[in-house]
Structure 1
């Protein structure tokens, strides 16, 4: 064998060793301990997968196209410790076994629509009632249970799209929607929504991530410090449907105009009827930001590890939910029980039941118009 053949043979041997030693992308664990192969299956005839975004600050976002949902989000704390700040599950099978909102894109209309109906151009639209006598989060065929088409153009961006057919859950119009996640190099996870329709309809999208900034779902998030840039909120009736009133937060458990421990705020009046209705916070605040994404809408800070989440949006409202309905029966990532008050959701949105409240900011989308919404979750250390 001549020298050239020996060199070629050694090259192929070296490449073989390299490929044998290199982990398969499907077997490589993310910082949060997830395996991509555990999210690869077929749902409704479409393929699901796990997509990984990274930035230069050591952050990592893991997103599945099932429900266009955020599965994990790694943020370094004040000591540089990689901390997964959202609740979720280790595999797609867990999401399929018990439908949930963890990290999902909620559509076609997030939150509740009273009695599963609304009037549009003098026609009464009947939609799927999946919450007793009411509709919530788009009905039983809501987008949290749909598979989105995925395109990842680079390491920090994921584009997800979904064609919602006319009549889905009773909503009119074929809606083409896109959800774009971007992990920016200044420490933010930006979510941009874009939608068009061929028939007048209603739309109101949000992300339903459950944030536990400590990284430990067994630690109550009621010890976190909350700020909401809103002077008013929308009270609920006993069916958890907004009454239509815009009420002042002053002298109530809903006044977080100055940063305050959540539990302390609720303790102002623990027997307040609104708290009793939902067992904690699960209300929409009317933001003072007037759609300006440069103005802080809300923030949440974990007092021990220093992680602070700041929220910016062009939406008129934000739902603050203290995970009141979690009961520890579900085991999340790492086998840890997901308990009551173990997380806080900060859902940027139009107000709940807006299709039935003509005086409120409208959720109507007409042909020729474009729905656009932005939510920016920015992380810093204090």
Structure 2
């Protein structure tokens, strides 16, 4: 066997709901730095602070406040280094109807994409309209271009070092505390 991927998902819900992401939704990400990229999107290897930029999601501001020109984001944020084996909260998104998603991960960063280029003609579930900024992707991962950047944590997998990632998605309503 060359590789194996296993995922276990369990979800319980007591009522039907459709999550809706809007530009006005508060969004918090614990990323304190950004992996810089050239204008063509290729990572440069530089790490820059997010403070004071449109990519500073640390205070839970709505997307519309951080990005009034609606340029969108498709960037890799870097988290403060946590304790070994710890799975800190890396992001929290709250929809206008009070449904919140809390994301925890053991990865050093995450790609954040605000669906800037999502086509209005894309297929959606019945009753939903897709459009730019109608979704957000939070993708915990290693650093982009880590194989070419000696100062970045390694992402190379080999027989003595298998790939392992932990991810937790917790959903709540009306600001209810998580149950862990």
Q: Shared fold (TM-score greater than 0.5)?
A: yes
Instruction: State the match for 1:176 in structure 2.
Output: 3
Contact 2:74 2:114 in 1 (8 A): yes
Instruction: State the match for 2:40 in structure 1.
Output: 239
Is 2:148 the partner of 1:321? no
Deviation of 1:213 after TM superposition, in Å, equals 2.6
Aligned partner (choices 250, 254, 274) of residue 55 of structure 2 = 254
Deviation of 1:311 after TM superposition, in Å, equals 0.6
Instruction: State the match for 1:168 in structure 2.
Output: none
Task: Provide the C-alpha distance between the structure 2 equivalents of 1:185 and 1:327, rounded to a whole number of angstroms.
Answer: 31
Contact 2:88 2:104 in 1 (8 A): yes
Q: Which runs of 5+ in 1 are unaligned?
A: 1-162, 164-174, 187-211, 215-219
Instruction: State the match for 2:178 in structure 1.
Output: none
The alpha-carbon distance between structure 1 residues 185 and 294, as it changes in their structure 2 partners (threshold 3 A), is farther
Instruction: State the match for 1:264 in structure 2.
Output: 65
Secondary structure in structure 1 of the residue aligned to 2:6: strand
Counting only pairs closer than 5 Å after superposition, residues 1-382 of structure 1 correspond to structure 2 as: 175-183=2-10, 213-214=19-20, 221-267=22-68, 270=69, 279-290=71-82, 292-302=85-95, 304-334=96-126, 336-381=128-173, 382=175
- CA deviation vs aligned residue, 1:235-272 (integer Å, no higher than 9, x gap): 211110111111011111111111110110123xx4xx
Contact 1:292 1:313 in 2 (8 A): no
Task: Provide the C-alpha distance between the structure 2 equivalents of 1:346 and 1:254, rounded to a whole number of angstroms.
Answer: 13
Query: What is the root-mean-square deviation of aligned Cα atoms in Å?
Result: 2.3
Q: Runs of at least 4 residues of structure 1 off by over 4 A? A: none
Contact 2:87 2:166 in 1 (8 A): no
Contact 1:226 1:299 in 2 (8 A): yes
**Between structures 1 and 2, the one with greater strand share:** 1
Deviation of 1:347 after TM superposition, in Å, equals 0.4
**Between structures 1 and 2, the one with greater helix share:** 1
- CA deviation vs aligned residue, 1:39-85 (integer Å, no higher than 9, x gap): xxxxxxxxxxxxxxxxxxxxxxxxxxxxxxxxxxxxxxxxxxxxxxx
The alpha-carbon distance between structure 1 residues 331 and 339, as it changes in their structure 2 partners (threshold 3 A), is same
- CA deviation vs aligned residue, 1:341-360 (integer Å, no higher than 9, x gap): 11000000012222222211
Deviation of 1:368 after TM superposition, in Å, equals 2.6
Secondary structure in structure 2 of the residue aligned to 1:263: helix
- CA deviation vs aligned residue, 1:294-350 (integer Å, no higher than 9, x gap): 421111111x21011111001000111000111212121116432111100000001
The alpha-carbon distance between structure 1 residues 377 and 354, as it changes in their structure 2 partners (threshold 3 A), is same
Q: Scaled by the length of structure 2, what TM-score is found?
A: 0.84
Deviation of 1:185 after TM superposition, in Å, equals 6.3
The alpha-carbon distance between structure 1 residues 294 and 369, as it changes in their structure 2 partners (threshold 3 A), is closer
How many residue pairs match? The answer is 170
Q: Which runs of 5+ in 2 are unaligned?
A: 176-180
Higher-Rg structure is 1
The alpha-carbon distance between structure 1 residues 221 and 293, as it changes in their structure 2 partners (threshold 3 A), is farther
